Amino acid sequence: MANNLSKYASDFPVLNQKVNDERLVYLDNAATAQRPNQVVESLVHFYQNDNANVLRGVHTLAERATAEYEEARRKIQHFINAPEPEEIIYTKGCTDGLNLVASTYGEANVKAGDEIVISIMEHHSNLIPWQQLAIKKHATLKYIHLKDDGELDLEEAKTLITDKTKIVAVAHASNVLGTISPIKELAAIAHQHGAVFVGDGAQSVPHMAIDVQDLDVDFYAFSGHKMMGPTGIGILYGKRELLEAMPPYQYGGEMIGFVHQFESTWAELPYKFEAGTQNIAGAIGLGTAVDYLENIGMDNVQAHEQELVNYLLPKLEALDGVTVYGPQDPAKHTGVIAFNLDNLHPHDVATALDMEGIAVRAGHHCAQPLMAYLGLTATARASLYIYNTEADADKLLSAIQETKEFFNHGTVKA
């Protein structure tokens, strides 16, 4: 199974290159995925044939652009099984979507003495907006911690979420540990206490089938570039009744109903939250990325990555001098794998791997509270996607072994 999707590799010409005279092995997919030809071609087609502003023109190009823009919205609606397209808001990315919720729903509904609950695993994008909202509103920010195996502590969550809790915000999958959080259960607990649940789907939407109705999340944000779409485009899903009650996020063109000299009214959903000219080509390109993923099948995407994790994780954990973070059970792990080599800084590890043509990330991964919780300053991180293979995993393992030997003995294995 781990090589069954290799037929798609030809759609990604960026992978057909050498880095430092070595075959490129791209394992930085948690930061951004590569784009297939189909997505790039959809951008070129739009700019060469249909380029016009949407929603505000009656000429042919404007009507074509608007039709493509709204068709992409419907594709995304069906992709995550949202009830209606009006609940799909175009944003700049996952970060923008989470800030939108904090700045609108949070601003209007959180007051002094209220509680906001997040997890210690959160990316800064799903931490700082709530941290700053809590500071501004004199609310209490509470953290759900981890069990010894790296999984979120659901029992602790049940004690932290109370009738004072207004918002629970948790990543569906960790961008550091690969931990998959039980957000359906967390949303149910939040609702029992009258709170709303905000899901960060940046590391889940590209890798597994998502049904926002089944999860019963109130808001769910994700980015296009992590799922092979363009950069600068993302999605916020929100339940209609909540979105309708929220004030606008930004003001300007297209988000208005009518403007008087001293007051204004707002447009209907979703346009109330889409002020100004949006990333039209990005939205259309994201719709193409959805087509591409649906053609593969999200169950196949997840199964492919799971096979690779099943292959790589035990071998990596078995290497002497290598520490792997997150769940040890591959079945509870996404394709994100953080690790360190004894006595080596992660940046040195990443640089050494790059010399072998292997692209990984090193640093705190925008999760400094998690690093502090784990007693670390940084890790190296390899992250898998559909175009990766067992051969890529083998090259990573071999390069890690050579890196250890070089730094320990000053020589590289022949």
**Going by C-beta distance under 8 Å and a sequence separation of 6 or more, which residues neighbour residue 222?**
94, 97, 200, 201, 202, 204, 205, 206, 234, 235
Whether 2 has a pLDDT exceeding 60, the answer reads: no
Do 265 and 374 lie in a common domain? no
Which residues constitute the domain of residue 275? 40-295
Query: Is 366 an active-site residue?
Result: yes
Specify the pLDDT at position 410: 54
**Which three-class secondary structure state does DSSP give residue 292?**
helix
CATH of the domain at 319: 3.90.1150.10
Do 228 and 88 lie in a common domain? yes
Q: Are strands 115-119 and 140-144 parallel, antiparallel or unpaired?
A: parallel
What is the number of structural domains in the chain? 2
Do 117 and 233 lie in a common domain? yes
Q: How far is it, in rounded angstroms, from Cα 188 to Cα 158? A: 10
Whether 367 has a pLDDT exceeding 90, the answer reads: yes
One DSSP character per residue, 346-387 reads HHHHHHHHHHTTEE-EEE-TT-HHHHHHHT-S-EEEEE--TT
Whether residue 414 lies inside any domain: the answer is no
Per-residue model confidence as pLDDT tens digits over 195-228: 999 999 999 999 999 999 999 999 999 999 999 9
Do 358 and 311 lie in a common domain? yes
Specify the pLDDT at position 412: 41
Of 12, 389, 77, 391, the closest CA to residue 228 belongs to 12
Q: Is 343 left (phi over 0), alpha (psi -120 to 50) or beta?
A: left
Of 208, 9, 219, the closest CA to residue 129 belongs to 219
Whether residue 1 lies inside any domain: the answer is no
Whether residue 253 lies inside any domain: the answer is yes
**Which three-class secondary structure state does DSSP give residue 238?**
strand
CATH of the domain at 281: 3.40.640.10
Structure pTM? 0.96
Whether 38 has a pLDDT exceeding 90, the answer reads: yes
Whether residue 341 lies inside any domain: the answer is yes
Do 258 and 219 lie in a common domain? yes
Whether 251 has a pLDDT exceeding 70, the answer reads: yes
Q: How far is it, in rounded angstroms, from Cα 113 to Cα 410? A: 58
Q: How far is it, in rounded angstroms, from Cα 71 to Cα 134? A: 38
Q: How far is it, in rounded angstroms, from Cα 229 to Cα 408? A: 41
Do 246 and 206 lie in a common domain? yes
**Going by C-beta distance under 8 Å and a sequence separation of 6 or more, which residues neighbour residue 205?**
80, 222, 226, 227
Specify the pLDDT at position 4: 66
Whether residue 333 lies inside any domain: the answer is yes
Task: Mark which of 244, 263, 295 sits at the end of a domain.
Answer: 295
Of 313, 331, 306, 323, the closest CA to residue 378 belongs to 323
Do 216 and 308 lie in a common domain? no
> Integer distance in angstroms from the first to the last C-alpha of the chain?
31
Q: How far is it, in rounded angstroms, from Cα 356 to Cα 374? A: 29
Do 247 and 156 lie in a common domain? yes
Task: Mark which of 295, 328, 351 sits at the end of a domain.
Answer: 295
Per-residue model confidence as pLDDT tens digits over 41-96: 999 999 999 999 999 889 999 999 999 999 999 999 999 999 999 999 999 999 99
Q: How deeply is 407 buried, as exposed, middle or buried, from its count of CB atoms within 10 A (0-12, 13-18, 19+)? A: middle
Do 400 and 309 lie in a common domain? yes
Write the DSSP symbol of residue 273: G
Whether residue 319 lies inside any domain: the answer is yes
Residue for token pair 């039980």? 182
User: Residue 323 forms beta bridges with which residues?
Assistant: 340
Do 306 and 238 lie in a common domain? no
Per-residue model confidence as pLDDT tens digits over 122-151: 999 999 999 999 999 999 999 999 999 999
Do 131 and 230 lie in a common domain? yes
Do 323 and 391 lie in a common domain? yes
Instruction: Confirm if 313 and 333 have CB atoms less than 8 A apart.
Output: yes
User: Residue 137 forms beta bridges with which residues?
Assistant: none
Per-residue model confidence as pLDDT tens digits over 255-306: 999 999 999 999 999 999 999 999 999 999 999 999 999 999 999 999 999 9
Instruction: Confirm if 206 and 33 have CB atoms less than 8 A apart.
Output: yes
**Which three-class secondary structure state does DSSP give residue 118?**
strand
Set 24, 154, 298, 366: catalytic member: 366
User: Residue 259 forms beta bridges with which residues?
Assistant: 264
* 107 phi, psi to nearest 5 deg: -60, -35
Task: Mark which of 279, 295, 311 sits at the end of a domain.
Answer: 295
Counting every residue written for the chain, the total comes to 414
407 confidence band (pLDDT: 50, 70, 90): confident
Specify the pLDDT at position 328: 85
